[in-house]
């Protein structure tokens, strides 16, 4: 458990560094498009985590959104998968509703996940097989829900695209309501704590879901892609995470009927990180 304690400590420390610098001017750059932002804090936070880990565990491998471990192509040894700021748009526009996400895998097996909601000082964590926690309190195992009594988290962008609107529209229509929070890691944490009942998105990278997968599965959530396959930690993928009954209902009634369309979308998208 020593490594798990270390994960939590350095994640909280990284978050505290961000809070202290929140009023300093941000350097904002764009990545793949004008709405895909990265700031100096994303990069500084990844560097802080990288250096702190390597100082203590020089043999560990680290994959991070902002460039760490680009050349890592297998999960042998101890592998950290890190998103230094998940919800960068929220960080830039709102100064809240962002998280640090960390997942550790040992020889490809889940070891532990940590998600830190920085401005609320809420630490979601799970060491595989030992239950999940919100700060020091155990998170209860999930109870099953039906879609008509469920809140579903989904980015409205997916409802505006002609190739995904017919798939996701009916889910939103049939759900009790829908939400969009802008941080994939927090969406996983919200499913794990029952604040929302399902999270659906079409494209996440391993750093978006590595920590969340471990925490959510620990409380009984089912985490797959939208073809009902398990997630690969080295590739981007689509996501369907929900309590067991709701996952089954959404996959069987709303996604499986569009299997051909979903397969085409997946084949065009998910060959790399």
Residues in contact with ligand 2AM by the rule CB under 6 A = 32, 36, 65, 83, 86-88, 155, 182-184, 203-205, 208
Scored b (16 or more CB within 10 A) or e, 246-273 reads bbebbbeebbeebeeebeebbeeebeeb
Site for Ca ion contains 208 (CB under 5 A): yes
Count of positions (residues) in the chain: 273
Site for Ca ion contains 86 (CB under 5 A): yes
CB atoms within 10 A of CB 47: 15
Sign of the alpha-carbon torsion through 243, 244, 246, 247: positive
Site for Ca ion contains 65 (CB under 5 A): yes
Stretch that binds Ca ion, among 1-9, 75-83, 119-127, 153-161 (CB under 5 A): 75-83
Smallest separation (angstroms) from ligand 2AM to the CB of 209: 9
Smallest separation (angstroms) from Ca ion to the CB of 214: 16
Torsion of CA 87, 88, 94, 100, to 10 degrees: 60
Place of tokens 């890691």: 185
Site for Ca ion contains 187 (CB under 5 A): no
- Partner in contact with 213, chosen from Ca ion, ligand 2AM, none, beta carbon below 5 to 8 Å by kind: none
Smallest separation (angstroms) from Ca ion to the CB of 205: 7
- Least Cα distance to 80 among 14, 22, 35 occurs for 14
Decide whether 122 or 248 has the Cβ nearer to ligand 2AM: 122
- Partner in contact with 204, chosen from Ca ion, ligand 2AM, none, beta carbon below 5 to 8 Å by kind: ligand 2AM
Decide whether 8 or 273 has the Cβ nearer to ligand 2AM: 273
Q: How far is CA 246 from CA 60, 152, 172, 221, 272, in A?
A: 37, 10, 13, 10, 29
Decide whether 85 or 198 has the Cβ nearer to Ca ion: 85
Decide whether 5 or 36 has the Cβ nearer to ligand 2AM: 36
Tokens of 121: 């000082």
Residues in contact with Ca ion by CB under 5 A are 65, 83, 85-86, 208
């Amino acid at each position: 458990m020593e490594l798990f304690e270390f994960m939590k400590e350095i994640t909280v420390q990284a978050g505290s560094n961000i809070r202290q610098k929140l009023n300093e001017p941000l350097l904002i750059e764009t990545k793949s498009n004008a709405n895909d932002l990265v700031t100096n804090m994303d990069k500084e936070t990844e560097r802080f985590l990288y250096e702190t880990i390597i100082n203590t565990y020089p043999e560990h491998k680290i994959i991070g959104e902002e460039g760490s471990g680009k050349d890592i192509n297998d999960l042998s040894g101890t592998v950290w998968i890190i998103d230094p700021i998940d919800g960068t748009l929220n960080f830039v526009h709102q100064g809240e509703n962002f998280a640090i996400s960390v997942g550790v895998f040992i020889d490809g097996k889940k070891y532990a996940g940590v998600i830190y909601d920085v401005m609320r000082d809420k630490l979601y964590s799970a060491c595989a097989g030992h239950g999940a926690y919100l700060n020091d309190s155990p998170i209860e195992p999930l109870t099953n829900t039906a879609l008509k009594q469920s809140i579903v988290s989904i980015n409205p962008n997916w409802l505006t695209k002609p190739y995904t609107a017919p798939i996701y529209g009916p889910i939103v229509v049939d759900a009790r309501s829908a939400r969009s929070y802008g941080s994939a890691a927090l969406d996983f944490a919200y499913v794990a704590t029952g604040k929302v009942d399902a999270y659906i998105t079409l494209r996440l990278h391993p750093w978006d879901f590595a920590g969340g997968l471990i925490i959510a599965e620990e409380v009984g959530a089912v985490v797959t892609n939208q073809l009902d396959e398990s997630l690969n930690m080295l590739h981007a993928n689509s996501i369907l995470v929900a309590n067991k009954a709701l996952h089954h209902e959404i996959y069987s009634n709303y996604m499986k009927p569009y299997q051909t369309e979903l397969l085409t979308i997946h084949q065009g998208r998910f060959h790399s990180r």
